[in-house]
Amino acid sequence: MKLAESMSRLGTETAFEVLVKARALEAKGRSIIHLEIGEPDFDTPRHIVEAAKEALDQGWTHYGPAQGLPELREVIARDVSESRHIQVGPEHVCVVPGGKPIMFYSMLALLDPGDEVIYPNPGFPIYESMIRFTGATPVPMPLEEDRGFTFDLNLFRDRLNSKTRMVVLNSPQNPTGGVIPCEEMADIANLLRQRDVMVLADEIYSRIYYGDKPPVSITAFPGMLEKTIILDGFSKTYAMTGWRLGYGVMPASLAALVSKLMVNSNSCTASFTQRAGIAAITGPQDGVTAMVEEFRRRRDAICKGLNEVPGFRCRVPGGAFYAMPNVTGTGMDSKELADFLLYEAGVSCLDGGCFGQYGKGFIRFSYANSMANLMEAVERIKKVSPRWTSRS
Ligand SMILES: Cc1ncc(COP(=O)(O)O)c(C=O)c1O
C-alpha cells in the first residue's frame, strides 16, 4: 500500500500510548496511579445528562446544520461575548465534535506549504502535528519555567517575519498550567495587530484558573477579534470529554469555510449532544465552580508534595489541571524517569518531551485524580527517589 506523503508528517498524542503501557501493567496485576491523561475525573453534571436524554426522547437524532444548531450557536455567542468582553454573533460560531477539530480545520483552511506558524513548546502535540501535516513550517516558541511558562517577547518578535501566517496561543496552558498575564497578552497583540497573521487562541481551559481574575483572551484587545479563532468547548469545563462537543469563534467568512470542511468530513456534530450543550451553558454553573475548587486543593497538595521529592522543582500553575516539575535535579533524562516512575513506582505520568523539545527535563502530572491517589503517587515517588539520589 502506498501511503500519501503527508501521512509521514502526521504526529500523535503520546498520552494515549502511555495509557496503553500502563493498562498492560494493570492487566498483569500491577497497581498503577493514572496521572497521564488530561481529562476531568468528575461526572458530567446531572442536568446536562438529563438534557441529552430528553433530546433523544424528543427525536434530536437526525442531521443538523453543518455549522451547528442555531440555538446553540446563539447561546455560545452570548456566553463568549460576555466572558471575553467582545461582541460576536452566531454567524461567528462553528460547533464541531470537540475542541480539537478547530485546530484541524482552521489549519487546513489557512495554511499552505512554506507558511510559518509560531506555537508554544512545550505545547499540545497536535499543533505541531497539524502544522507539519499542512506542509507549513512549525516555529517553536520556548516556554520558560522562570517566567511562569510564558514566553520571552523579544524571542517572539525575532520569530515573526513575512512568512508567519499563524500564531498559536494557549492560556491556561497544557502541559505547564501557565497563564499568559494581561500585560503580556497586550504586548503580543501590539506585535500582531498590523500583521497579516491569524491567531489560534486555544482557550479550552478558560474556566479552569486559580487567580482572582479569568485569563484574558487576546480577542479583548483592539483589532484582534478579526484576526483570531477562539477554540473552546465542553470537554474540560463540563467534564464532557467523551461527548465530543466543542466550537470555534472566528470571522464569519472563515466560519463559512470551516463549515464547508465539516460538510466534507463530519456533516454535523451530533444533534442531541448539542441540545445538552445548551443546557450546559444556560444551566447552573455550580458544578464547574466546585470542580475548579477541588482542582485548586489538589494543585496545592501535589505541588507541595512534588517539591519535597529530591531533584524535583515544581512551580505552582495558574490554570488547567497539570503540574510540570523540572526534574533535571534527579540527574535522569525525563523520558527515562517517566518510564522508571511507571515501572518502578506504578505512577503513570508523561515525559515533558512528549510536548516538544523544550519540554525535555520536565514531567507532566495531571491532577485530575482523587486527592488520596495523588498523595499515594507522591509517596510512591518519594520511596523510589533514593534510586536517583544514589546515582548523582
Ligand atoms: C490545549 C488543549 N486544546 C484542545 C484540547 C482538545 O479538547 P477536546 O477533547 O475537546 O477535543 C485539549 C485536550 O486535551 C487540550 O489540552
Task: Note the pLDDT tens digit of each residue in 190-203.
Answer: 999 999 999 999 99
CA distance linking residue 33 with residue 360, whole number of Å: 22
Q: Averaged over 217-225, what is the pLDDT?
A: 98
Higher pLDDT, 17 or 306: 306
Q: Mapping DSSP to helix (H, G, I), strand (E, B) and coil, where does residue 147 land?
A: helix
Determine contact, residues 371/309, Cβ cutoff 8 Å: no
H-run or E-run covering 141? strand 137-142
| Ligand 1, atom 14: closest residue by C-alpha | 38
Q: Which residues of 150-161 are buried (b: 16+ CB within 10 A; e: fewer)?
A: bbeeeebeeebe
296: which 3 cell numbers? 485548586
Q: Averaged over 291-317, what is the pLDDT?
A: 98
pLDDT at 204 (0 to 100): 98
Distances (CA, A) of 143 to 112, 152, 169, 287, 357: 26, 8, 11, 32, 11
Q: State the pLDDT confidence band at 392, using cuts at 50, 70 and 90.
A: low
Closest atom of ligand 1 to 245 CA is 10
Q: What percent of the chain has pLDDT over 70?
A: 99
C-alpha of residue 331 to centroid of ligand 1, in Å = 32
Is the shortest distance between the CB of 100 and ligand 1 below 6 Å?
yes
- Does the pLDDT value for residue 125 go beyond 70? yes
C-alpha of residue 129 to centroid of ligand 1, in Å = 14
CA distance linking residue 213 with residue 184, whole number of Å: 15
C-alpha of residue 232 to centroid of ligand 1, in Å = 8
Q: Averaged over 65-87, what is the pLDDT?
A: 98
Closest atom of ligand 1 to 100 CA is 11
CA distance linking residue 291 with residue 341, whole number of Å: 28
C-alpha of residue 81 to centroid of ligand 1, in Å = 21
What tens digit of pLDDT does each residue of 3-58 get?
A: 999 999 999 888 888 999 999 999 999 999 999 988 888 999 999 999 999 999 99
What tens digit of pLDDT does each residue of 243-302 get?
A: 999 999 999 999 999 999 999 999 999 999 999 999 999 999 999 999 999 999 999 999
Determine contact, residues 55/62, Cβ cutoff 8 Å: no
Q: State the pLDDT confidence band at 391, using cuts at 50, 70 and 90.
A: low
Q: Cα-Cα-Cα-Cα dihedral of 180, 183, 184, 186, to 10°?
A: 110
Is the shortest distance between the CB of 99 and ligand 1 below 6 Å?
yes
Closest atom of ligand 1 to 170 CA is 1
CA distance linking residue 391 with residue 383, whole number of Å: 15
The residue to which cell 460547533 is assigned: 95
Residues 6+ apart with CB under 8 A from 88: 77, 80, 81, 225, 249
C-alpha of residue 248 to centroid of ligand 1, in Å = 12
